């Protein structure tokens, strides 16, 4: 149980070792005179209880300070790892954003090339999933780059309902601005 509590409070093996050493060495420093007397050794400097208590408290302070320094170094290293990881996640987010923009540009070009195209056809033309195509088309519609026409079918005539996409003015403007439409020389 004590081991579990130490693991919860102190994150590394070294910090747990310092705590255990502190717990063992403080009583050792306090009762050092009695243990040395049993071994037949006499030291006058540690015969006074005040000196032994001071020695025990000194050991306690040194080890507590060591634990504190170790934990600060550990926290600093964790912060560096987190900062390094967030840099990678920012790069990943930038790459994802570039890919989304590239997919949307490809969709705009496909709609320009094949007017009144359906989302399933766009997915097939660009070799992307229908859900991805539907997502991009909806985003392009919201930003007014494309427009949608929902054509209602008739069960009596055997015509299914469908959705046709066509490029809108802002979509053409985007393609022209980014030089994705080649101009013919006249």
Q: Express each pLDDT in 110-169 by its tens digit.
A: 998 988 888 888 889 888 888 888 888 888 999 899 998 887 877 777 677 788 888 999
From 88, 104, 122, give the residue that closes a domain. Answer: 88
Is there a domain that residue 106 lies in? no
pLDDT score for 185: 47
pLDDT greater than 60 at residue 52: yes
pLDDT score for 17: 74
**Whether 19 and 68 share a structural domain:** yes
Q: What is the CATH number of the domain that holds 140?
A: 1.10.10
Is there a domain that residue 186 lies in? no
pLDDT greater than 70 at residue 9: no
**Whether 7 and 73 share a structural domain:** yes
**Whether 7 and 80 share a structural domain:** yes
From 70, 88, 106, give the residue that closes a domain. Answer: 88
**Whether 82 and 119 share a structural domain:** no
pTM of the entire predicted model: 0.48
**Whether 25 and 67 share a structural domain:** yes
Is there a domain that residue 107 lies in? no
**Whether 6 and 78 share a structural domain:** yes
pLDDT score for 8: 64
Tokens of 131: 């859900």
Rounded to whole angstroms, how far apart are CA atoms 66 and 181?
A: 67
Domain limits at 160? Answer: 114-177
Rounded to whole angstroms, how far apart are CA atoms 83 and 89?
A: 10
**Whether 69 and 136 share a structural domain:** no
Which ranges of the chain would DSSP assign to H, the alpha helix? 2-9, 13-30, 32-38, 49-113, 119-126, 130-142, 169-177
pLDDT score for 7: 66
Q: Are 180 and 167 in contact (CB under 8 A)?
A: no
Q: How far is CA 82 from the centre of its chain?
A: 8
Q: Coil, helix or strand for 165?
A: strand
Q: Select the more confidently predicted residue: 143 or 12.
A: 143
For residue range 63-117, list pLDDT tens digits in order: 888 878 877 888 888 788 777 766 666 667 777 788 888 888 898 999 989 888 8
Is there a domain that residue 11 lies in? yes
Nearest to 33 by CA among 50, 19, 18: 50
CA torsion, ordered 106, 109, 111, 114, to nearest 10 deg? -120
Q: Are 173 and 167 in contact (CB under 8 A)?
A: no
The residues facing 165 across adjacent strands are 117, 148
* Domains in the chain, number: 2
pLDDT score for 142: 92
pLDDT greater than 70 at residue 23: yes
**Whether 64 and 129 share a structural domain:** no
Q: Are 53 and 27 in contact (CB under 8 A)?
A: no
């Amino acid at each position: 149980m004590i081991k579990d509590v130490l693991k919860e409070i102190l994150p590394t093996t070294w910090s747990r070792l310092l705590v255990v050493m502190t717990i063992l060495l403080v009583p050792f420093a306090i009762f050092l005179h009695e243990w040395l007397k049993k071994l037949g050794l006499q030291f006058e400097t540690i015969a006074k209880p005040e000196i032994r208590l001071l020695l025990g408290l000194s050991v306690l302070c040194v080890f507590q300070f060591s634990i504190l320094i170790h934990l600060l170094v550990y926290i600093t290293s964790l912060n560096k790892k987190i900062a390094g990881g967030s840099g990678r996640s920012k790069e990943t987010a930038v790459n994802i954003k570039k890919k989304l923009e590239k997919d949307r540009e490809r969709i705009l070009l496909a709609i320009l090339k094949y007017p009144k195209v359906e989302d399933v056809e766009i997915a097939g033309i660009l070799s992307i999933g229908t859900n991805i195509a539907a997502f991009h088309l909806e985003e392009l519609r919201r930003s007014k780059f494309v427009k949608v026409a929902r054509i209602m079918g008739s069960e009596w005539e055997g015509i299914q309902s469908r959705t046709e996409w066509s490029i809108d003015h802002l979509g053409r403007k985007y393609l022209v601005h980014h030089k994705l439409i080649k101009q013919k020389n006249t």
